Amino acid sequence: MSTGGQPAHGNLLVFRPFHVPRSETRCRTPERLPVIPVLKSLPEDRSRMTCRRLLTKVPALAIFLVVSAACTHSTPQTQQRMPPRTQDRPLQDRIKSGERSERETWQKPDEVVQALALKNGDVVADIGAGSGYFSRRFAGAVAPDGKVYAVDVAADVLGYLQQEAEKEGLRNLVTIVSQEDDPLLPRDAVDLVFFCDTTHHIANRTDFYRRMLPGLKQHSRLAIIDYPPGGDHAPHPPEQLVPRSQVISEAGEAGFKLVDEFRFLPRQYFLVFERR
């Protein structure tokens, strides 16, 4: 049997080895991509390694930036806009909200009064007094010689409070219908100005605090209780509330220094300032 001119050896076919040139046995190296300019000065192996590390870190960096942006959006550093006006709600709704029985479990009014260390003869101004949830308790704490000014912009709710005070025999409680930018306190009269769930309803707080000054005694105090933005039980969106840091800054601009802070309220911050 002929094999293309090659001799046959029995039943076996003998083929001459086919030699491929050595240069063709290697895979062609693809065209090399340009090295990123910032890495150009590095050795080639280190450049590739650095690129790989950067690429593996990009997803984590992106996630961090997204989460940071979301956190910043959900907890603003300052109040962005005002909440709806309380006095625009029906009177009975306001009374029911202020006097609801379950409020005592988290508002802890008796502990608040105790923390303020009020004594007989003190004069308290309760700004945004509403139905008198705190005003009536203050009246008992400073009796018989002290006095409480229950201050609110809404005359109707103060009318309700006055009736309740008379029923309870609280003759040292006086109501003041104030302006939105001025509490209209009597001059040189007040030892403690108290705000609870009120500061976020005041548009220009620093100016408001300054307008209080003529009504305060020399070593008077300012107490502020309010909801931090983003709290689980906050009554308004985060952008409508006042962060603790902003409260401290604004009070400082008006001439008050932070002297105490109580942390027993589960839903609110509780700050106490002293007039400089």
Give domain status of residue 264, yes or no. Answer: yes
Give domain status of residue 81, yes or no. Answer: no
Residues 239 and 191 in one domain: yes
Alpha carbon distance 134, 173 (integer Å): 11
Please list the residues that pair with 148 across neighbouring strands.
Answer: 124, 173
CB 182 within 8 A of CB 141: no
Last residue of a domain, one of 16, 50, 74: 74
Within 10 Å of residue 78's Cβ, how many Cβ atoms?
12
Its domain, for residue 46, covers 38-74
Q: Report the domain count for the chain.
A: 2
Give domain status of residue 79, yes or no. Answer: no
Please report the pLDDT score of residue 54 as a whole number.
Answer: 43
Phi, psi for 206 (deg, rounded to 5):
-60, -45
Please report the pLDDT score of residue 1 as a whole number.
Answer: 45
Please report the pLDDT score of residue 75 as a whole number.
Answer: 67
Alpha carbon distance 255, 212 (integer Å): 11
Give domain status of residue 21, yes or no. Answer: no
Residues 62 and 194 in one domain: no
Give domain status of residue 66, yes or no. Answer: yes
Last residue of a domain, one of 51, 74, 97: 74
Q: Is 205 helix (H, G, I), strand (E, B) or coil?
A: helix
Going from the first residue of the chain to its last (276 residues), give the mean pLDDT of each consecutive group of 10, the final group possibly shorter. 43 46 46 46 50 50 47 66 83 93 96 98 98 98 99 98 97 98 98 98 97 97 96 85 97 98 98 97
Interior angle at CA 125, CA 243 and CA 228, nearest 5: 15
Q: Which of 81, 109, 83 is nearest to 223 (CA)?
A: 109
CATH assignment of the domain containing 211: 3.40.50.150
Residues 56 and 122 in one domain: no
Interior angle at CA 93, CA 230 and CA 105, nearest 5: 55
Please report the pLDDT score of residue 27 as a whole number.
Answer: 43
Residues 203 and 66 in one domain: no
Please report the pLDDT score of residue 107 as a whole number.
Answer: 98
Residues 133 and 216 in one domain: yes
Please report the pLDDT score of residue 52 as a whole number.
Answer: 54
Q: Which of 174, 177, 173 is nearest to 156 (CA)?
A: 177
Residues 64 and 111 in one domain: no
Last residue of a domain, one of 53, 74, 95: 74
